[in-house]
Structure 1
């Protein structure tokens, strides 16, 4: 629970601090890379850690992940520029890949099938506690100390988690010959990274139809095809495709991919809207995000009981409806609306995520044996992380492109650019803008973010359609 808490608080506290970070370090065009770099390493390493935990046990792998995560966190707090921050976030993400999936896998190990649904719901309450504390602490630290302490807050939590792990977790692991699919990991990293460059820089640094975009696209597809070939021949593949042959696991993994886009769309860009367009302080922006993580554990606790009564499919369908309702609120959100309205949409997204993710994890763990449980759990989280990674790049690219188009359409591209938007995110800088300039930048940011939320809505619809394909009559009994 301590390890989960550390990872969960990271998700909300950094998003709350990002407007302050970009206001100080500049380079608004790199905004989404701060999330993408962390998520990329998290996504790619999660499957390796899952496999390693099946081979060597959960304790040593989780400990290694926490240590690397803490090193990255300390370095992030010292970052002198956006480029260095992005690099340090790579390190942080490299460690984070071990935390959530292995913590969830440990739950699958130490509880019976009947207990697992209920306990997974209870453990999700960690997200609720961290959700309340994360944005509130993030807002307070940004307002009264410095955004750098947002990263250093992880250090005592991580140390406590390691101490608790060695005091209380006792496991007997049958040692096996090492067989890790590093080739698959490298190929997947290359494929996803090059695809992210296309999404973030397309229409901003390079034209969509240009030689660099074409080269990156070919390279991304070629790497992905090689990844599939390597996985099919590997002795112990990073992503065992035989797991995907069961329909419930296939649909759960595909839906986790699409809900990952929704999750990052909200957590990355909602604070920007609340601070930049609504002109609310960081702590209010954090609180609008908090409601998502309050809704998540409430729904997860309910899901733990409901999947025993009405099954995985019905529980997931209710979650899918909630995701659609939440995304509709963000489509119609305006600058003069109350932050409470934004918080309501955030809460509904949290309800949807809580219902679907809990149902998926319990369903997957009930359908595999111990020696596959680590990699099966990690595969599902991997898909959500890949969705968030691609989502951060895709939505960040849309935001940048739409802002540039808006400034160009109003004939101010010579005086306003992407970095002008960063001035909205700091109150002192905002006060130095002329009334006309401030309104123009705010309207441009609102216009660009509205485009982002239309894409989030589209992914909510896709998620709901996928859920409908889950097999009927599948209960945790």
Structure 2
């Protein structure tokens, strides 16, 4: 990354200069409330799923309660980002909040698992608008020198919502009902909607280029089959099954057509000229890796704590609190320092180094590891994540044209979420393969002494493949 100065030139859009500080704060509160809800709903249902299945039945659709949200949320992020560049953040935010609130209410009153899956997909459509715009709005409202603390706060809110989701979902399910996992969105969302409607100016570019409908269509054809192929239960559909291979082939076809369309489109969904920007080209692969690392830590560490250390689900949830604390602390502190010194490269490097050290430390996890050791690992990982994620967004926004901020920011978020899904699939395969090998070796002396019918009960090939996406993958391995 060639540039090390966070504020190389003023890129603030003129219409933001007319807003007073109080108005900007109110707008940001509304935006951050929306982001909180969108991030929260990626994880809040995980602890409510057993109660939901008990009530609605349809266990075969269990994983899709989470996957449907993740699919639509991930696929729509870059499309909303481009629309917000054309029509302004306000109309996209308002539309997203309305869709999110209506679908949250429908999720809460769903009377079957199929209904819930459909409404969760609709909820993901709304959540994508909230996610894609939240990281772009600070660049609209504030000059480059003022953005670091806002990006730090934005990432802190995102991290807080992601980690606190399972714990809050458990509390609501235990003390009220699973319906309130969705109903809780309504009052918070209405406050966010009120702030944005009353205080946020139109904030659009004034340009009206033709919308790239075909590009959007083939982006969906690329992303949706790919994500479905990753998240389908691999005990029913193996990696080499015709369905999975067909989905990946359709995704590859969509990608080829998408690239051809975008190279010629006057206003592409994902401008390819961004990839010629060295900062953007470096940040995208980093975002994929960070997304995979963050999701893997939250997802598979919980499995380890419960299945290996034997702690309760509540204790496993509290073990992740240091991760959240580290993220919030380092997001805010590093952003404040960057704002003061005007340099971001050292913090990106330090954040990535801390993440690497945390994962090296986590290689030492075994049956004798204590919860305090895990908490220490989560603090280091949280410090690294919180230090790198918001600064990457800041570096990206200061490196692109103001008219491309929405597309660039949503593009980074899209690839980060894609990394979450790919990471959960890859780590799930590794986990299942490792477990299968280890259990086969350890059970062989026992099963050799049993009759064939009893030995078949110990067939570890029946382990569910931990390649599902979203929170459904949180139950990927039955031990």
TM bin (shorter chain): 0.7 to 0.9
- 2:105 maps to 74
Distance 2:307 2:106 in 1: 27
CA RMSD of aligned residues (A): 3.5
Change (3 A) 1:83 1:107: same
- 2:394 maps to 362
Listed one character per residue, the Cα deviations across residues 434-463 of structure 1 (whole Å, up to 9, x for unaligned) are: xxxxxxxx9x757xxxxxxxxxxxxxxxxx
Structure 2 residue 403 is the aligned partner of structure 1 residue 371? yes
- 1:350 maps to 382
Distance 2:372 2:53 in 1: 25
State the structure with more CA Rg. Answer: 2
- 1:435 maps to none
- 1:454 maps to none
Q: Secondary structure at the match of 2:73?
A: helix
- 2:123 maps to 92
Query: Any stretches of 5+ residues in structure 2 without a counterpart?
Result: 1-31, 448-454, 467-474
- Of stretches 329-338 and 235-244 in structure 1, the one that deviates more from structure 2 is 329-338
- 1:224 maps to 255
- Please tell me whether the aligned partners of residues 125 and 297 of structure 1 are also in contact (alpha carbons under 8 angstroms): yes
Listed one character per residue, the Cα deviations across residues 25-62 of structure 1 (whole Å, up to 9, x for unaligned) are: 78888666544432221222111111111222111110
Listed one character per residue, the Cα deviations across residues 268-287 of structure 1 (whole Å, up to 9, x for unaligned) are: 33334434444433332322
Match of 2:275 among 241, 244, 249: 244
Distance 1:122 1:162 in 2: 20
Q: Secondary structure at the match of 1:321?
A: helix
Listed one character per residue, the Cα deviations across residues 200-229 of structure 1 (whole Å, up to 9, x for unaligned) are: 448522344444444333222222111111
Distance 1:348 1:185 in 2: 39
Q: Secondary structure at the match of 1:14?
A: coil
Structure 2 residue 27 is the aligned partner of structure 1 residue 13? no
Q: Which aligned pairs between 1:27-426 and structure 2 lie closer than 5 A? A: 33-79=64-110, 84-127=115-158, 130=161, 134-177=165-208, 179-201=210-232, 203-307=234-338, 309=341, 311-335=343-367, 337-396=369-428, 410=443, 414=457, 417=462
- Please tell me whether the aligned partners of residues 149 and 332 of structure 2 are also in contact (alpha carbons under 8 angstroms): yes
Distance 1:126 1:351 in 2: 15
TM-score by length of 2: 0.77
Change (3 A) 1:271 1:25: farther
Distance 2:358 2:106 in 1: 36
Listed one character per residue, the Cα deviations across residues 341-374 of structure 1 (whole Å, up to 9, x for unaligned) are: 3333333332222111111111111122332111
- 2:3 maps to none
- Please tell me whether the aligned partners of residues 280 and 396 of structure 2 are also in contact (alpha carbons under 8 angstroms): yes
Query: Any stretches of 5+ residues in structure 1 without a counterpart?
Result: 422-441, 447-477
How far 1:384 sits from its partner (Å)?
Answer: 0.7
Q: Secondary structure at the match of 1:98?
A: helix
- Of stretches 88-97 and 119-128 in structure 1, the one that deviates more from structure 2 is 119-128
Listed one character per residue, the Cα deviations across residues 303-330 of structure 1 (whole Å, up to 9, x for unaligned) are: 2134454833321111112222333344
TM-score by length of 1: 0.77
Distance 2:176 2:138 in 1: 37
- Of stretches 296-305 and 322-331 in structure 1, the one that deviates more from structure 2 is 322-331
The count of residues paired between Structure 1 and Structure 2 equals 426
Distance 1:398 1:76 in 2: 34
